[in-house]
Amino acid sequence: MQLLAQGADADELQLVSLFAQPDERSATDPASDPMRIPERMKGKVVLRAPAAAPTVDPAIEPPPVDLTQRTFSVDAIPVLDGADVNVEHLSQVMSPWSGKALSFDEFQLAANDLLMFLRENGHPDAVLRFSQIEFLENRQVAVAIEGLAPVTPYQDATPRIQVAGYDIRGITLLSDTEVAEHMAQWSDRELTVEELGDAAESLARLLRDRGYALAQAWLPPQEIRDGVVRVDVLEGIVDEASGQNGLTIAGESERLKTEVASAYLADAVKPGAPLDVNALEEKVRLLNDLPGVKRVQTDLKPGSQPGTTQVVAQVEDDDLVNVLLTADNYGSRYTGAERLSANLNLNSPTGHGEQLFVNLTEADASRSYKVGGHFRAGQSGLRLGMSYAAMSVDFDFEQGFAVPINIASDSSVTTLFGSYPLQRSAQTNMDLYASLDFKNYQNSILFGAIENDRDINSASLGFSGDHIDSLDGQTRWGLTLTQGSVDLEGGSDYQFNDALGAQTEGGFTKSNYSLQRYQALPFETLFFNASLNGQWANGNLDSAEKFQLGGPDGVRAWPVGEGIGDNGWVTNLELRKILAQPDWGRVEAFGFYDVGGITQYADPNPGIVFDGPNSYTLAGYGAGLSLTYGENGNLQLVYAQKAGDNPNPTPEGTDSDGKNNQGRLWVIGKILF
């Protein structure tokens, strides 16, 4: 590096250049800055009195030209690449000497300050020499600074420890192999104390990710020998001395006995063992599923010993009796469109989580009821139940006949069912369910002149679930497989005609599926809902087992009973907007588009006589308004418009309800007591 001074006139020399030429070059880490200003120089200007000239480094040789009668000035300090120096720091060192006329002695002091700074900041071998004295020709004095250190890679001054392995104490939830595999990334390398803390925390995080949310790991005071670092772990042990083996049921529930709640939660709260928060959450959700339970709240509190915990749970009761009244126009042409229903639930009357129910429905030409109950079987969430339903229809069919034709039907269904929760969590729920159905249908036409009697027995196995994801949406799904048989009354006309036509008597197999996506959109209070429902059968089905397109739960522009067949599907697309959320509830508006396809007969054999295409589609669109009153009431109005003509009308050219309306209004209101 050379220090150049040049006179601006005959009596003044100016320092114009300072550059470095190291012995070698390498990359510089931005974090490294060995050219820092010493603490003694920060925040103040360092001046040296010219009269007290120190002993100049012996390496400084006097120039051959007498410069003692000249003055010098220091202005710019440019530095060439290659040396580990910082121009800004050099300028600060020279600031006490800049902007003033300097004697030669002062100029030497300035050069010596620069030399001392370099020696103190990464260049201990720096020396200063005068050379290239050409003052008489170009009025320039060159001062060479040699021995500068080249740019070196960043050197971290943080103390590091060579780690060979770990001594993990207090861990029981992981095998030695699992611990070794996890800590391998932190072994056989140099680590700072902070990095060792990260290694311990990573082990605790592994336990927390597996459901042990209270797990902690830390570095105790220690003397590290042979590179082995000790890590202590607390897994969050359930304190058996607190409550009843670490579990306390606070308060008294009228709807659920304390021993029932304790039995559910005790499976996840095991004294002396680490608390699995995931298992506890699942048990709390299963407890929430029980009739008579409105809400279960659990708190984790410190145990009687350090590193232990206890669980305190409180059960909030639901009502003993719930009554839901429903009025709608969801009925069919044959049963009566306008209906009034009442559903009564008796929740956990004995305190064991059972439920009894009665459902009643009344319409113009029909009346039906359903009674049943279900109860828990153990603490796994398994529930078993039984129900019986009956329906009676009696109406006069006038269209197309000179006189009304009476049609009457009595049907009953006895069902045994069960359900089992495969998973319960805040994000995901999955259930397995099964049922046995025993159905009986007795129909008569012309006041009993023509009768048919048939039994349908079937077994179903189903799977359903829902999942909330990170995209602010929920997905629901379901799949049910049904195997059954149809038994027609022997020797009846109905059996004879069936053998010549659809041939539904005997065994059958069908599957029903559903898929739904509810998605919040990146606009406030706007949501999108899409659903798909369908059925597939391996052959021709009895009318009681068929799929239909029309109705309020299908293609809403078409009536109940429109588009009936063995195989079919319906897709509903909705865009919903929350208009208002007052204190009493919520107001929503929505627009929709529905489309569905049907195949009347899975096996259209030659003996079947029917009009129209065997397979076709129906579509419609519309809008609706929904008003929700807290948790106790809802009113929904939907108007749907057909998209296209009916590809399979009645002989009179109407829809299945005997009308040919282009639009349709659906109304349903519910209130819960």
Q: How far apart are CA 353 and CA 289, in angstroms?
A: 9
Residue 173 lies inside a defined structural domain of this protein:
yes
Q: How far apart are CA 415 and CA 385, in angstroms?
A: 8
Residue 518 pLDDT greater than 90, yes or no: yes
Do 82 and 131 have their domain in common? yes
Most confident of 9-23, 122-136, 356-370: 356-370
pLDDT bin (cut points 50, 70, 90) of residue 134 is: very low
pLDDT at 388: 98
- Phi-psi group of 472: left, alpha or beta (phi > 0 → left; psi -120 to 50 → alpha; rest → beta): left
The CATH number given to whatever domain includes residue 245 is: 3.10.20.310
pLDDT at 117: 82
Do 247 and 225 have their domain in common? no
pLDDT at 363: 94
pLDDT at 108: 77
pLDDT at 183: 96
Residue 430 lies inside a defined structural domain of this protein:
yes
Q: What average pLDDT score do residues 411-420 get?
A: 98
pLDDT at 251: 81
pLDDT at 8: 42
Residue 21 pLDDT greater than 60, yes or no: no
Domain limit, last residue, from 176, 202, 234: 234
Cα dihedral 19, 21, 27, 30, rounded to 10, equals: -30
Reading the block at residue 535, the tokens are 């059925």
Q: What average pLDDT score do residues 554-579 get?
A: 97
Lowest mean pLDDT among 85-94, 193-202, 470-479, 594-603: 85-94
Higher pLDDT, 292 or 115: 292
Do 304 and 421 have their domain in common? no
pLDDT at 373: 98
Do 427 and 295 have their domain in common? no
pLDDT bin (cut points 50, 70, 90) of residue 405 is: low
Higher pLDDT, 593 or 50: 593
Higher pLDDT, 264 or 103: 264
Is 338 in contact with 363 (CB distance < 8 Å)?
yes
pLDDT at 150: 66
Do 300 and 423 have their domain in common? no
Most confident of 38-52, 87-101, 531-545: 531-545
Is 579 in contact with 588 (CB distance < 8 Å)?
yes
Q: What is the DSSP letter of 172?
A: -
pTM score of the predicted model: 0.74
pLDDT at 85: 73
* Coil/strand/helix, residue 179: helix
Do 200 and 221 have their domain in common? yes
Reading the block at residue 164, the tokens are 């060979």
299-308, Cβ contacts within 8 angstroms, sequence gap of 24 or more = 300/214, 300/275, 301/242, 303/237, 303/238, 303/239, 303/241, 303/242, 303/246, 304/239, 304/241, 304/242, 305/239, 305/241, 307/234, 307/236, 307/237, 308/236, 308/237, 308/238, 308/239, 308/242
Residue 625 lies inside a defined structural domain of this protein:
yes
Do 27 and 100 have their domain in common? yes
Mean pLDDT of the chain: 84
Residue 363 lies inside a defined structural domain of this protein:
no
pLDDT bin (cut points 50, 70, 90) of residue 53 is: very low
Is 514 in contact with 531 (CB distance < 8 Å)?
yes
Higher pLDDT, 148 or 223: 223
Residue 330 lies inside a defined structural domain of this protein:
no
Residue 357 lies inside a defined structural domain of this protein:
no
Q: How far is CA 444 from CA 92, 390, 449, 560, in A?
A: 109, 16, 7, 22
Q: What average pLDDT score do residues 490-501 get?
A: 84
Residue 93 pLDDT greater than 90, yes or no: no
Q: What residues contact 225, with CB distance under 8 A and at least 6 apart?
A: none
Give me the number of domains the chain comprises: 4
Of the chain, the percentage scoring pLDDT greater than 90 comes to 65
pLDDT bin (cut points 50, 70, 90) of residue 15 is: very low
Do 462 and 411 have their domain in common? yes
* Coil/strand/helix, residue 415: strand
The terminus-to-terminus CA distance of the chain in angstroms comes to 93
* Coil/strand/helix, residue 229: strand
Domain limit, last residue, from 215, 234, 253: 234
Q: How far apart are CA 74 and CA 14, in angstroms?
A: 6
pLDDT bin (cut points 50, 70, 90) of residue 123 is: confident
pLDDT at 68: 62
Do 41 and 107 have their domain in common? yes
* Coil/strand/helix, residue 435: strand
pLDDT at 398: 62
Structural domain boundaries enclosing 262? 237-317
pLDDT at 189: 93
Is 230 in contact with 221 (CB distance < 8 Å)?
no
Residue 5 pLDDT greater than 80, yes or no: no
pLDDT at 92: 79
Reading the block at residue 251, the tokens are 């308060």
Choose among 276, 245, 282, 252: nearest CA to 264. Answer: 282
Lowest mean pLDDT among 86-100, 133-147, 592-606: 133-147
Give me the numbers of helices (H) and strands (E) for the chain, helices first please: 8, 32
Domain limit, last residue, from 317, 352, 385: 317
Residue 10 lies inside a defined structural domain of this protein:
yes
Reading the block at residue 633, the tokens are 């009431």
pLDDT at 143: 60
Residue 12 pLDDT greater than 70, yes or no: no
pLDDT at 98: 76
pLDDT at 491: 74
CA angle 505, 511, 513 (to 5 degrees): 150
Residue 60 pLDDT greater than 60, yes or no: no
pLDDT bin (cut points 50, 70, 90) of residue 449 is: low
Tokens 């469109």 belong to residue: 337
Of the chain, the percentage scoring pLDDT greater than 70 comes to 81
pLDDT at 62: 47
Most confident of 7-11, 36-40, 544-548: 544-548
Handedness of CA 393, 398, 399, 400 (dihedral sign): positive
Higher pLDDT, 25 or 183: 183
CA 338 to chain centroid, in Å, comes to 42
pLDDT at 54: 39
Handedness of CA 324, 327, 329, 332 (dihedral sign): positive
Do 166 and 303 have their domain in common? no
Do 565 and 419 have their domain in common? yes
Do 477 and 573 have their domain in common? yes
Lowest mean pLDDT among 38-52, 133-147, 553-567, 624-638: 38-52
Residue 335 lies inside a defined structural domain of this protein:
no
* Coil/strand/helix, residue 347: strand
pLDDT at 104: 74
Reading the block at residue 146, the tokens are 């040699």
The CATH number given to whatever domain includes residue 410 is: 2.40.160
Give the relative orientation of helices 277-289 and 258-266 as an angle to the nearest 10 degrees.
150
